[in-house]
Structure 1
Amino acid sequence: MSYLVLARKWRPQTFSDLIGQEHVSRTLQNAIDTGRIAHAFLFTGARGVGKTSSARILAKALNCEHGLTTEPCNSCPSCSEITDGNSVDVFEIDGASNTGVDDIRELRDNVKYLPSKSRYKIFIIDEVHMLTNNAFNALLKTLEEPPAHVKFIFATTEPHKLPITILSRCQRFDFKRIPLQKIVDRLRYIVDQEKVSISSDALAIVARKGDGSMRDSLSTLDQVLAFCGENVADDDVASLLGVVDRRLLLEASQAVFSRDNKSVLEIVKQVDSFGYSMRQFCQELIDHFRNLAILRAIDNASDILDLSETECSELKNLAATVATADLQRHLTILLKAENEMAHSNFARLVLEMALLKMAALAPVIPVNEILDRLKALESGTTLPSVASSSPVWEKSQPVAAQQNATTRTPSPPQKIEERQPKREPLEAAAQSAPTADETAAPHVDSTWPGFVTFVKGKKPVLATFLEVGRPITVSGKLVEVGYAEGSFELSKMQDADSMEDLKTLSHAFFGSQPTIRFKSLSGETVGAPPSLQEKKSLEETKRKQQLKEKALAHPAINAALEVFGGQVNEVSELNK
Structure 2
Amino acid sequence: MSYLVLARKWRPQTFSDLTGQEHVSRTLQNAIDSGRIAHAFLFTGARGVGKTSSARILAKALNCEQGMSPEPCNVCPACTEITAGTSVDVLEIDGASNTGVDDIRELRENVKYLPSRLRYKIFIIDEVHMLSTNAFNALLKTLEEPPPHVKFIFATTEPHKLPITILSRCQRFDFRRIPLAKVVARLRYIVDREGISISDESLAVVARKGDGSMRDSLSVLDQVLAFCGETVNDDDVVSLLGVVDRRLLLEASAAVLGRDTRSVLGVVARVDEFGYNMRQFCGELIDHFRNLTIMRAVGDAGDLLDLSEAELQSVREQASSALLEDLQRHMTILLRADGELAHSGYPRLVLEMALVRMATLAPLVPVGELLDRLGRIEERGSGVAADARASWRPSPPPEAGVAPVPRPAPSALAEQRPRPVPAGAEAKPPPSRSDSPVQEPRRTGDEWADFVAFVKGAKPRIGTSLEYGSPLHIAADRLEIGFPENSFALSSLRDGDAQASLKALAERFFSAPMTVALKVLTGEGHAPPNLLEKKRAEDEQRRTGLKRSAESHPAVSSALEVFDGTLAEVAPLGTRGKL
TM-score by length of structure 1 reads 0.78
Residue 267 (structure 1) shift: 3.4
Structure 2 CA distance for aligned equivalents of residues 187 and 238 of structure 1? 17
Partner of 1:143: 143
Residue 156 (structure 1) shift: 0.8
Structure 2 CA distance for aligned equivalents of residues 272 and 534 of structure 1? 58
Partner of 1:184: 184
Q: Determine whether 1:442 maps to 2:442.
A: no
Residue 374 (structure 1) shift: 5.2
Partner of 1:325: 325
Structure 2 CA distance for aligned equivalents of residues 174 and 429 of structure 1? 76
After superposition, the C-alpha distances for 1:86-143 in whole angstroms (9 at most, x for unaligned) are 1111111111111122112211222222222222221111111111222222222222
Residue 329 (structure 1) shift: 2.7
Q: Determine whether 1:212 maps to 2:212.
A: yes
Residue 203 (structure 1) shift: 1.6
After superposition, the C-alpha distances for 1:447-475 in whole angstroms (9 at most, x for unaligned) are 979966864xxx755665687797x99xx
> What secondary structure does 1:519 align onto?
strand
Q: Which amino acid in structure 1 is aligned with residue 394 of structure 2?
A: A
1:444–1:529 CA contact under 8 A, matched in 2: no
Residue 501 (structure 1) shift: 10
Change (3 A) 1:327 1:63: same
Partner of 1:5: 5
Change (3 A) 1:32 1:466: same
Change (3 A) 1:489 1:339: closer
Q: Which amino acid in structure 1 is aligned with residue 315 of structure 2?
A: L
Question: How do 1:154-233 and structure 2 match up within 5 A?
Answer: 154-233=154-233
Which runs of 5 or more residues in structure 1 are unaligned?
383-413
> What secondary structure does 1:88 align onto?
coil
Partner of 2:45: 45
Change (3 A) 1:461 1:274: closer
Which runs of 5 or more residues in structure 2 are unaligned?
399-403, 409-442
Q: Determine whether 1:112 maps to 2:112.
A: yes
> What secondary structure does 1:428 align onto?
coil
Residue 373 (structure 1) shift: 3.3
Change (3 A) 1:520 1:52: same
Partner of 1:81: 81
1:465–1:493 CA contact under 8 A, matched in 2: no
Question: How do 1:464-543 and structure 2 match up within 5 A?
Answer: 464=464, 484=482, 487-488=490-491, 490-491=493-494, 498=501, 519-520=516-517, 540=539, 543=542
Question: How do 1:346-385 and structure 2 match up within 5 A?
Answer: 346-366=346-366, 369-370=369-370, 373=373, 377=377, 380-382=378-380
After superposition, the C-alpha distances for 1:392-414 in whole angstroms (9 at most, x for unaligned) are xxxxxxxxxxxxxxxxxxxxxx7
Change (3 A) 1:287 1:445: closer
Partner of 2:270: 270
Change (3 A) 1:518 1:149: farther
Change (3 A) 1:143 1:530: same
2:503–2:516 CA contact under 8 A, matched in 1: no
Change (3 A) 1:156 1:493: same
2:191–2:197 CA contact under 8 A, matched in 1: yes
Question: How do 1:281-292 and structure 2 match up within 5 A?
Answer: 281-292=281-292
Change (3 A) 1:12 1:450: closer
> What secondary structure does 1:364 align onto?
coil
Structure 2 CA distance for aligned equivalents of residues 343 and 557 of structure 1? 47
1:435–1:543 CA contact under 8 A, matched in 2: no
1:244–1:276 CA contact under 8 A, matched in 2: yes
Change (3 A) 1:425 1:277: same
Partner of 1:386: none
Change (3 A) 1:538 1:84: closer
Residue 550 (structure 1) shift: 4.3
Q: Determine whether 1:249 maps to 2:249.
A: yes
Q: 1:574 pairs with 565, 573, 576, which one?
A: 576
Change (3 A) 1:545 1:286: closer
Q: Determine whether 1:428 maps to 2:431.
A: no
The percent of aligned pairs where both chains have the same amino acid is 63
Structure 1 CA distance for aligned equivalents of residues 271 and 286 of structure 2? 16
Residue 316 (structure 1) shift: 0.5
After superposition, the C-alpha distances for 1:501-535 in whole angstroms (9 at most, x for unaligned) are 979xx8xxx9xxx77856336679x9x99987777
TM-score by length of structure 2 reads 0.78
- Bigger Cα displacement from structure 2, 421-430 vs 139-148: 421-430
Change (3 A) 1:3 1:447: closer
1:13–1:53 CA contact under 8 A, matched in 2: yes
Residue 42 (structure 1) shift: 1.1
Structure 1 CA distance for aligned equivalents of residues 532 and 326 of structure 2? 54
1:46–1:175 CA contact under 8 A, matched in 2: yes
Structure 2 CA distance for aligned equivalents of residues 480 and 467 of structure 1? 19
Q: Determine whether 1:55 maps to 2:58.
A: no
1:493–1:499 CA contact under 8 A, matched in 2: no
Structure 1 CA distance for aligned equivalents of residues 338 and 533 of structure 2? 56
